[in-house]
Structure formats: structure tokens, C-alpha cells
Amino acid sequence: MQHCVSSKRMAAIRFTSAALCAIGAYVVLGAPIALAQPVDYGALEQLFGEPVTTSVTGKPQRVTDAPANIEIITQDDIRRSGATSIPQVLQFVTGVDVRQDGIASVDVGIRGYNQASNPHLMVLVNGRQVYMVDYGRIVWSAIPVQLDEIRQIEVIKGPSSALYGFNAVGGVINIITYDPLNDKVDTATFRAGTPGYLGGSAVATAHIGDTAGVRLSAGGFSARDFAAGPLQGDDRAARLSPYADNFNADSRWRITPEIETFAEVSLGQTQLSGQAPPGVFGSERLLSNSVRMGINADTRLGWLSLSAYRSDARDNIYNVNGGVPIQVGDYQSTYVVQASDLMKLGTDHTLRLGLEYRADADDSGDLAGGTIGSMIYAASLMWDWQVTPSITLTNAVRTDVMQLHYSGTLLQGTGISNADYNHTTLVEPSFNSGAVWRATAQDTFRLTLARGVQLPTLLQYGLQVRPGFYAPLAFIGSPDLSPSIVWNAELDYDRALPVIASSLRTALFLQRTDDVIAWPFGAPLSIAPTGMPLFRSQNVGYSTAAGAEIGLKGHSDSGFRWNASYALVATTDHTALNRGPAPTSIVEYAESAPRNVVIGGFGYSRDKWEMDLMARWQSSFLDYRMNQDRTALIPVTIDNYVTMNARIGYRVTENVTVALAAQQFNAPALADTAGPPIQRQIILSLTTHL
């Protein structure tokens, strides 16, 4: 089935073409100046006295200069949080929501729109995407990064599709690890605590002169999962104990002063309980691996970069239905090739050209009756213009062309054929524009506009679950789905407050999501052309959001540090979902995330001691789980709550630190979803820096 491009999309495509012509005309006016050497984050951060990022535009920038709302979590922040996982750190970032219903079962959202198996967030490790292609979700315990090897976590709020492509609509989290060539990190950490938690990690770096470096890391954990709480029967029986083991090798070799290569390999396995599929509680076991290689070169044409990576995952999902265990499996694969050219033209202009090819596939007889996949071809252009010493204008545009393909045996009677998939092609433009005005030495204004694109996930397209497998009716995907389009406008104001050694950050934003996608487990009942009743992925309307954030953060030379923030997101859904007396979909963004969140933190370091206290209050929201016979959704109100974390660290020697951390010490259990409540955790850790 050929997907016809709507007139609205054609207008967007014409805009993209015109923009490219205008920028292309400008490019020929200046000769590119050759650049050299990669980004040495540590040295640049020391020079400018603040973190440096390439995540917003592809060029290195000071965080305060970036044309986006970005927050940086440093390695010091990670250590002081006492966290044992990345989501535990993220829950104290303004505008970020974390929903957790198991030790390792976590979903993260930015500015609302959070849900089980959230597909709105893009997560990367050093620019490599790490989400699962089945539902576009993140399995955090499968990310092959140890906390000790993270230099910084960059949280970009709002759509960033012009740089990252499809699915970077809610926000982007880029996990930046230490550089194997410029940084030397050698640590070992051991952790033990509740509930039945044992974990550890080791990171080692070796340098060969100043031309090559390799960093090896390994780590993992095992634990008893949170108590089952409200889960009964099949949902309770399907829970397995969580664990994870990951290994990563990251290397960089400077062949000449102008040319360097890099290579990365990772392996991992994890088991966790959670919602699989959304609304149904089960467990999954995941084996994953990835290989990435690339080359950077300083040439007369600019700083050229070429990289390729392949990642795959073998996933087994375990449920219980009517007392009978069910196991489904799939094999997910991703191949990506990326090329870019970053060049400075004259004194005021920076351009970045990008090309990308991506192939994703989900091979599952159980879930798809075969293999559903997509191929994406993309081209992007970023232009950064220092208009005046105090004003910078950045524009980025990108066009993605997606082709679906399917091979296998579709369910009979649904009215969909293999040809319907194989003839589906989408062309979608996206853009990000930002103006930064440094009005005074203390005041900065930022205005950003964006159009982001969320592609339906592979199983939203190609799910084929027969009647009686999870429920009496069939659940299927649809090749007719339109991608969701996210429009975002934001105004930020930052002010430095040197009198109190702090900085104030504020933001106002408006967002609209067109063609919201309801996947089969959250879609209204449909009738196929053959008369067969089923649940089918569909576009269900639009959603709007408005919000505000305000935060204050500071530290003193005497060792004190503090932060306080408030975030508001008011979401309104205009969809065909949940209009009757009984809920039919978990897709209810107006209710699915807390509207108000207050975060506070206080810390103090003196001599060998380090103490930190963090607290988060969030307002109530609504979640769902399925009833035992899988025929109805049960709405569950998640009451407002406060969670408080604390950590005390003591440096025994120059190389050895002992720390005691308590996650949620103020309450033994807190309901955070319709599933098991989060339990208090006490963790003792021992860290050695070699």
C-alpha cells in the first residue's frame, strides 16, 4: 500500500527544499577552514569553567551557549546521588519523570508523556542509540555503561529530530563516557544492600603513549525484586528476579595528528520484571551486543566523520495466562551508517552536513508472524550563525525517508497483506531552530522552535498476536499509521546570581502532538473488513501540553551545595480514547504523568566527608493495569508522594571511599505505578580508584 503524503506534509517538504537552497547558496560564499582533533571534554570544561556538549547541534558548545534547554549531570552529581542506576539519578532532574515498578523496570519521560514502554525518549551512549526497536522503549539495565565511567549525562528537553531523527520527540538523553585517549579512569566498586542487592563494577584504562587508548568496563548486579504488592494471580506468577551483566571495550587511536579511528564492543545480559506488553505484568530476559567503528579526519573540507554500528538483541518475554506460562521471543537488529562534515566558514558561521542510513528489524514468529523492518535514509544540515557578539542563531533541518518491509505470515481475516507493508514509504522533514541572546553578563534568553517526528515502532506497525494468546481478541499493527508530529515552542531565561553563588533557570513551553499513536494494547476496538473484531494500532487524535519550569542551583567555596526546582506540565488530550464509561487505553497523557513536581537538594563536603540529601514531591496521576482475564483495564490512581534519598561518603584513603546511601528512606514502600510499589533501598558501597 503506497502511503500518500498529505498536503500538510508536502508543504513541509517544500519548506525544507527552500531552506536547503537558501543555505546552500550561502555555503558557496565561504571557503571551509580545516579543523583538527576531537573534543577533549575535560580540557575544555577546565578552560571555560562549565560543561561542554556536542549533543544540541553537533558542534562543541558551552552548555550556557547551547540553543536548547539542556541539563548536565556530572560524575560528581552521580557519585553524590548514591544511585545504583542511571534512572535513579534522572529522577532529580527538573522536568524528568521516572516511573518504576521493579528494581530494573523503569520508564523515563521528559515533560510528561510518560508511560510503560515509553517510545518518546531517545537515549544514546556517546551518540549511539540504545533503544529497543520493538516498542521504541529503553531497557536501562541493558545499557552497557558503568556509572563510574560516565563523564556526564546530558538531558535535552523537547524535540531534537533535526539532529537525531525519528523518535527524538520528548527529549534526548546522551550518556557521555570518559575518553579512552584523554582520560585515565581506573576504578572498582562493590555494592551490597537491600533488597538482596549485590552489585559491582570495574573500569580500567590503558594508554599507548599519547596516540592510543582503550578502556574496559564490566559490571552487574543481582537482587530480589520489589514485593508484588497489588499484583495477583498470573501477574504475580510471571515475575522473575532481576539481574544484569554488561561488558564494554572502548578504544581510540590517533593514527596521525589529522586522523583518528575508534572502535567499541559491548556484550550484556539482563533479566527484569515489568510490563510486557503494557498493562500486562511479566518478565523478560535480554541478550544484547553491539559493535561500532569509525574514523574522524581533519581535511580541507572540514572535520569529516564516518561511523557504522550494528547492535542486536535476543529477547524472551515471559508471561502467565490463565495459569499457563507463555514465552515469546524475538530477535531485534539495527544497522546504522553515519557520515558528517563539520566546518567553520569565516569567523561567524558553522555548518554541519549529515547523512545517515539505518536498518531496523524485529524477527518474531510469536509477535509478528515473521520479520517486520524498516530502512531509513536521512540527510541533515545545521547552520550556526554568530550574528552579533551577544546573539547566536541556529537552524537545523533534516529529511528522513522510511521504507517498511515485511516477510512472513500475517493473521488471516485482518484485511492486511504483505504488499501493504512492502509498499509503505514515508518522507518526513523535521527542524530545530534556536536563538540565544546574551543580554547582559548575567542574563541569557533562549527562544526555540521545533518540529519533531515520532515514527510508529516496528510492532506498532507489524504486531500479529492471534486471538487467545494474551486475550480473546487479536492484537495487530497497521501499515497505515501516520507518524506523530510534535511541534514545540519554548522561551527560556537564565540568570546568574553571583551574590548567592547560584544560577536561576526558567522555561515556558507549548507543545502539540498530532496523530497520537495508540498501539494495539491501547487502541479502541476495531472491526476488520472481513468482520473480525480486533485491536489494531491507529492514530487517535492530538494532544497539547503547556508547561513551566523554574530552578535554582548553587554552591559555595566552603563546601555547601543546593538546588531547588518546580516543574509544571498541563496536558490535554483530544483523542478518541477512553470516551466511554470504562477505560480502553493506557494512552491517556493528560493523566499519565504528575502535573506538578518539586525537587530539592542539599549537600556539604568537608575534609574526607561528603553528605547529600535529595527530595522529590510529585502530584498524583493515573495508571492502568489489565484485569486477570485480560478483558478490561483497571484504572489506578497513584497518590502524590515525597521520596527522599541520602548519601554519606567517607574517603578512607586517597584511593578508597566508603559510602552509605538510602533510596526513599522516608517510606518503606511507595506506589509509583499500577504495579508493585518501590521499596526502600539501603546500599553500602566501597570504591577504589587505582
**What residues line the site for other proteins (CB under 8 A)?**
35-40, 43-44, 46-50, 52, 59-62, 64, 298, 303, 342, 344, 346-348, 350, 386, 389, 441-442, 496, 498
CA dist 246 and 542 (Å) reads 40
Q: Are 291 and 264 in contact (CB under 8 A)?
A: yes
CB of 372 or CB of 382, closer to other proteins: 382
CA within 13 Å, CB half, 107: 28
CB of 58 or CB of 193, closer to other proteins: 58
CA dist 430 and 444 (Å) reads 26
| Cβ-Cβ contacts under 8 Å for 374 (sequence gap 6 or more) | 358, 359, 360, 361, 402, 403, 404, 405, 455, 458, 461
CB of 40 or CB of 186, closer to other proteins: 40
Burial zone of 565 (CB within 10 Å; 0-12 exposed, 13-18 middle, 19+ buried): buried
How, if at all, do strands 150-157 and 69-74 pair? antiparallel
- Minimal distance in Å, beta carbon 492 to other proteins? 17
CB of 209 or CB of 323, closer to other proteins: 209
- Minimal distance in Å, beta carbon 48 to other proteins? 5
CB of 257 or CB of 472, closer to other proteins: 257
The total of other beta-carbon atoms located within 10 Å of residue 505's CB is 19
CA dist 66 and 382 (Å) reads 13
CB of 307 or CB of 679, closer to other proteins: 307
CA dist 310 and 541 (Å) reads 35
CB of 298 or CB of 623, closer to other proteins: 298
CB of 444 or CB of 448, closer to other proteins: 444
- Minimal distance in Å, beta carbon 208 to other proteins? 17
Torsion sign, CA atoms 580, 584, 590, 596: positive
CA dist 113 and 95 (Å) reads 11
- Minimal distance in Å, beta carbon 61 to other proteins? 7
How, if at all, do strands 533-536 and 474-476 pair? parallel
- Minimal distance in Å, beta carbon 228 to other proteins? 51
| Cβ-Cβ contacts under 8 Å for 226 (sequence gap 6 or more) | 101, 102, 103, 195, 669, 676, 677, 678, 679
- For 640, the grid coordinates are 502524590
- For 127, the grid coordinates are 551518540
CA dist 242 and 105 (Å) reads 9
CA dist 585 and 543 (Å) reads 15
CB of 298 or CB of 360, closer to other proteins: 298
